[in-house]
Chains A and B, each alone.
Chain A
Amino acid sequence: MAATSTASALPAPAAGFKALIALVGVGFAAALYRFWVGLGASTNLSDSVPWGLWVAVDVLSGVALAAGGFGITAAVYIFNMKKYKSIARPAILTAWIGYTVVVIGLVIDIGKPLAFWHPLVMWNPRSVMFEVVVCITLYSAVLALEFAPAFLERFKLTGLQKFLKLFTFPLVIAGIVLSFLHQSSLGGFFLIMPHKVPALWWSSNLPYMFYLSAIALGLAMVSFESIVSARAFKREQEMEIIQGLGRGVLITLGLYFAFKVGDLAYRGALSQVFSSGKASVFFILEMLIGVIVPIGLYAVKSIRESVNGLFLAACCVIVGTVMNRFNVNFFAQAGPNSNYFPSIVEILITIGLVSLMVLLYRLAVTYLPVFHEPGKSH
């Protein structure tokens, strides 16, 4: 790709780039192996734990990580919070790459990868899984259109760009609605098994909990990326923006915490917080790391105003929410005979997919006008 003024303004990717490519390569080889020998030989999935690391991380968490895409576009276009406009594109990019990788992860996870298209023609409207597949497909298309201006700008197709602009609002609204539907439906997967999921997690409100925590996670992810990109490209940190994002995360986490505690109390399950054995340990860890500690961090002024503090808080939210998805998924299946730890192939593929996400992101921000350089127009 020839460097244009935009591209040459950014340093070529260097450090860590080769390592990323290597990890993606290893993951690719592991995926080939998985297709070659089947799920039984390559994973530790079994009849007692049919959903493992890939469902928990590559699908449930991957989708939630990409929630920043609709969160930021809602802030910018619906609520007219102009200051976030500069991060709308990176957020949409993250979401788009996130969904692409989620779909790759899904194809690797399902037992019949060649049948991946079946839900698009064989409909079961009573299935949450069907609804999620439809929403993810539609939303990927919406994200592609929302990100298209970056390509059009890069290749100077202003006519098309103008035309696409007409659809900005409908696209943004479609994106928010689709996101609400499937982000909550990921929690909806588990509604049908009230007797399997421990009371610490199961609630008829599970879909809304997944939705709220996805917003917190999505915003945390965007601030994580802004901080890391600014460091990598030696730009100045945009304090106003990352502090604003931090406020957003804090408010969402506060709501989530109140909702969670209220829901536990309403269902009379508060006493189980400490009395559910292994589930309690994981539940408390998830709440501490993902909710309570970050709320504490954001509440302290000196932490809230430092880049490192905000970075740490964002990391906590990311780790804690991924733990939550993992816990819900695992304990929904955990019976007396379940024990599951992902196999090396499962781990390598997951690492490969995460690396692929980072790699695509770095390529895109290097060669496409994703970040508008402060004090520099093109």
Chain B
Amino acid sequence: MATNNEKAKGVLVDLTRCIGCRGCQVACKSWNERKTGKTTIEGNFTNPKQLNSDTFTRIAFIEQDNGAQPVWSFVKDQCMHCQDPACLSACPVGAFTRTPEGAVNYTFEKCIGCRYCMVACPFNIPKYEWESTNPWIRKCTFCSDRIADGKIPACIKVCPTNVMLFGNREDIMKEAEKRMKDSPGKYVNHIYGKEEAGGTSWVYLSAVPFDQLGFNTKIPAQKLPDLTWNMLGTIPAKVGALVVGLSLIAAFRNRGANNDDDSSESKQGKEK
């Protein structure tokens, strides 16, 4: 596993710095040449309400009341680029790959469209081109084309308040801990993504408890693919045991009866 090697990149998202300008949302669309559509704002200012095949990232606007005035939190969503991705292990044809930099990418030529990756992803990130007759899965690419080119991801590049810090994952983890230590009481005591789903490349700091911001805090701190591998990995042993066991039972239960097996079928009708 290429986790945490020197080249593994990460992004620290410090939500306390986000002003909700949606610059990242626009930059991502234009870098990735995604369609824009007419949208409406309903109920709250989050727009669109969910990620979709044309929106790899978007800012959720979360309004809370502290009695006197509304308090706003702005939360950027995109693929977390897990260190041991559920999507990658789930895909029957191996359409997902993880680059040494930690970007989890999708090979459209392989995909059969079973959508198991969508169901398996703990963060519900992969989205589908439902309206197409030749649909692909779509999700944030970590701008791996830019990274390969020595550039930083488009959404990070445009951010006016430096919400996101791109670097080696080890370094950004250290930075996250430093920020928490330097400003006691500013952040809740949790780095989201440090352990969730076995660790993700993108991690978050927040002043508001994560569960109030729509983060799923029930995701176990465990490499999720291990859960299925526990079952799949024992297949050879199970097959061996079953074949031997069944053969023994068959030999025992059918002892002395082997030779008349041939005739029993044709006699079948008359027996009754």
Contacts and interface: CB of A to CB of B under 8 A. Distances in A.
Interface of A: 35-41, 45-48, 50-51, 74, 77-80, 82, 85-86, 109-112, 115-116, 118-119, 122-131, 133, 162, 165, 168-169, 172-173, 176-177, 180-181, 184-185, 188-189, 191-196, 204, 207, 332-333, 335, 337, 372-378
Contacts of B268: 85-86, 372, 377
Given A165-B261, A191-B228, A375-B270, 9 more contacts: A38-B133, A111-B113, A115-B110, A118-B92, A173-B247, A181-B235, A184-B231, A192-B120, A204-B230
Interface stretch (B22-30, B58-66, B203-211, B238-246): B238-246
B246 A110 contact: no
A38 B250 contact: no
Contact of B120 (A193, A204, A375, A377): A193
A181 to B, nearest CB: 6
A133 B243 contact: no
B122 A193 contact: yes
A51 B115 contact: yes
B251 to A, nearest CB: 9
Contact of A128 (B90, B219, B254, B266): B90
A192 B224 contact: yes
B231 A111 contact: no
A3 B225 CA distance: 55
Contacts, number: 201
A374 B264 CA distance: 14
B189 interface: no
Interface of B: 49-53, 86, 89-94, 110-116, 118-120, 122, 124, 127-135, 216, 218-220, 224-225, 227-232, 235, 238-239, 242-243, 246-247, 249-250, 253-254, 257, 261-262, 264-270, 272
A332 B119 contact: yes
A112 B89 contact: no
B269 A375 contact: yes
Contact of A50 (B49, B89, B118, B131): B118
A122 B53 CA distance: 25
Residue with the highest number of chain B CB atoms closer than 10 Å, among A45, A79, A192:
A192
B228 A188 contact: yes
Contacts of B246: 74, 78, 173, 176-177
B130 A38 contact: yes
Across the A-B interface, the 10 shortest Cβ-Cβ residue pairs: A111-B113, A40-B130, A124-B94, A377-B269, A129-B92, A130-B92, A80-B253, A50-B115, A122-B93, A195-B218
B261 to A, nearest CB: 8
B89 A192 contact: yes
A84 B228 CA distance: 36
Contact of A47 (B50, B111, B232): B50
Contact of A337 (B50, B127, B128, B261): B50
A119 B246 CA distance: 29
A129 B91 contact: yes
